[in-house]
Amino acid sequence: MQPKPEHSILFDSLVAREERRGLFVVAFLRIVMLAFILLLFSKPDLPTGELYSLLEVLGWFIPGVFIQIFVAWYGRNWRWMLYILAIVDAALIVYVSVVPDPLNPLTQHPAWVYGFVAQDRGVVFSMIMMALVIMTFSPRLILWFGSWLVIAWGVGIGWLIERPGVLIPKHFGDEWNPDQDELIATYMRPEFLDVSSLIEQVILVVVFTLACAVMVSRLRLLIKQFAAAERAHGNLARYFPAALADQLADRDEPVRIGERRDCVILFADIIGFSGYAENRDPQDVMRLLNSFHGIMTTQIAAYGGIVEKYIGDAMMASFGAFEDIPAPTANALAAAQAMLDRISEWQEKDGQNRPLRIGVGLHFGPAVVGDVGEGEAVTPAVIGATVNLASRLERATRDLDAEIVLSCSFAGQLAREIPATHALMMASFAGQDDIRVKGFSTPIPVRYQARPHSAASALG
């Protein structure tokens, strides 16, 4: 026998918890309904004596409240008690609806009492009790209770028909063909029992039961599908940034067709990391990497960026590649500066780590965005010359002794996005140069932020 999938076990536990909570709610509502019935039947002018009210209290509501609280408290091993309670509920609802109260003064005319009680609100109370059973969130219990209601009403109607003095249409014979006045007079006779009306009420109970069971079953299915979707989204978020995971979860098509979009590509790397990691404990190396990537990822996400991939101690991120964001270059530059600040703060708090030299490259331009791979090995990707140039700019931080190197196309887009504050954001980028980049035939004009002298020592 195959074990249940983990998500199915999780769903079952969540449903079981809600079923237990539902039992507490039902117990409370039974108390409320008890107060309502006592108020309704305690008026001296109503044709109902004290015996039925006492029966409802002692034989129906109070034990039911305690049973439901007991099952909710002690779990599924005692759920069989709910099914016994459902049978008792169904039997008592019909009993107090069709059997005349011996203390009722109208029992001097039994046929009138039978007709009166049979036309009382027993079916309405049946549906009210069914509404309470819905709170248990169990389609099986709903069908069980509804089935016993139908059985109890069938027995009750049969008992009424056989009582002496009760008139039903078949007593008049097949030849009876009354006119309208005679028919009305017959229906108004106190001992007349409209069996067809009672049967229609029972059919109504059947329909209501099936509708409730189907509704709860559908609700459970929808919750299960929602839980599975949330779990799938959570799994996506473990391997993709939250923003990208949201897009992947919302997509209907399995593969994104490539499109060309203007975006910002950011590369960041720890300079000298290979020499640092060569002779150190692998666990220490991984702890440092995880801390570094955690800081970088947090800052990138805070400014609307998406981490595309980790490449050892390096990382690649995009701004505006998968979704439109306001001022992508301004957000990317702010994220880069925040990354440097957070790394510096981290180094000051953690005295065990050597000072890190971080290099960041930024470029704005067109890139191809789409899914790369086939079958099950498909991943969203950003590719093109813009990506290659951003990577080369990050490598150029070593030669220029710079923290951040950005292209002139990035600087030009920044000026268009935020003309009022562009000069302020670019104030620290005093360095300018034309660098030769592998794969590009002409030199690339760049601006860079020089590295502070205090951070000139490298890892390793």
- For 253-455, CATH gives 3.30.70.1230
**Angle at 113 (CA atoms; ends 100, 96), nearest 5 degrees:** 30
Q: What is the pLDDT along the chain (460 residues), one digit of tens a residue?
A: 444 455 555 566 666 676 677 777 777 777 776 666 666 555 555 444 455 555 555 566 677 777 777 777 776 677 788 888 888 888 887 887 777 666 666 556 655 555 555 555 667 778 777 877 887 778 888 899 899 989 988 888 888 777 776 766 665 555 666 667 766 676 666 666 777 777 888 888 888 889 988 988 888 888 777 777 777 666 666 655 566 666 666 665 544 567 889 999 999 998 888 877 777 888 888 888 888 888 898 999 889 898 888 888 899 999 988 888 889 999 999 999 999 999 888 877 765 555 678 899 999 999 998 877 766 666 778 889 999 999 999 999 999 999 999 999 999 999 999 999 989 999 999 999 998 888 788 889 999 999 886 444 444 4
CB 263 within 8 Å of CB 382:
yes
Q: What pLDDT is recorded for position 92?
A: 80
Place of tokens 């990537």: 293
Query: How many CB atoms sit inside 10 A of residue 88's CB?
Result: 16
Q: What pLDDT is recorded for position 332?
A: 95
Report pTM: 0.55
Burial class (CB in 10 A: 0-12, 13-18, 19+), 439: exposed
Structure tokens at 170: 């078949």
What does the domain layout of the chain look like in residue ranges?
Answer: 6-236, 253-455
Q: What pLDDT is recorded for position 107?
A: 58
